[in-house]
Amino acid sequence: MARKTRKGGQGTPATVALEAAAVPFTVHAYDHDPAAASYGGEAAEVLGIAPERVFKTLVADVDGTLAVGVVPVTGQLDLKALAAAVGGKRAAMADPAAAERSSGYVRGGISPLGQRRPLRTVLDASALGHPTIYVSAGRRGLEVELAPTDLVSLTGARTAPIAR
């Protein structure tokens, strides 16, 4: 996989973090349709890739602390499983404004990489069955393709079955 950068150093915090770590990745840009029902579903369709390789980044409140769950766009985040994976008892989806403030990204473009305030992150175990996966590169209409093991390493994530 080739390493790609945006011209003139105009990257997102996610692509800047990937460049700094010197891991192989590819950026995939597409024209985002604001009417799309699902950001991840749209990415899979427009980029022509299997939807189970496209992962969405969801911010949850686990016992009063924010955490990130990264799951395939074909499924949903199992909040109980996420809570258990980070040693918590209860989880609920975070307030969108809190997720945006914490991550530095807008809803639909939250990346697990390059977050303003890094959060405990859990990647669904299904990701390890793919040589590469796609996650948001930090903006709607921009995905980054990388090895799931590199995502785990860069975010300090643990893997667990957190999708249903």
Task: Please tell me whether residue 56 adopts helix, strand or coil conformation.
Answer: strand
Confidence bin at 72 (pLDDT 50/70/90):
very high
Q: Which residues contact 18 (CB under 8 A, 6 or more apart)?
A: 3, 25, 113, 114, 144, 146, 154
First-to-final CA distance of the chain: 30
Rounded to two decimals, the pTM is: 0.90
Say which range, 60-69, 102-111, 147-156, has the weakest mean pLDDT. Answer: 102-111
Whether 152 has a pLDDT exceeding 50, the answer reads: yes
Q: What is the mean pLDDT of the chain?
A: 90
For the chain, percent of residues with pLDDT exceeding 70 = 94
Confidence bin at 79 (pLDDT 50/70/90):
very high
CA 55, chain centre distance (Å): 6
- Token look-up 């930090």 returns 138
For the chain, percent of residues with pLDDT exceeding 90 = 76
Confidence bin at 10 (pLDDT 50/70/90):
low
Give the dihedral sign, CA 37/26/98/65: positive
For position 2, what pLDDT does the model report?
42
Nearest to 82 by CA among 92, 97, 72, 94: 92
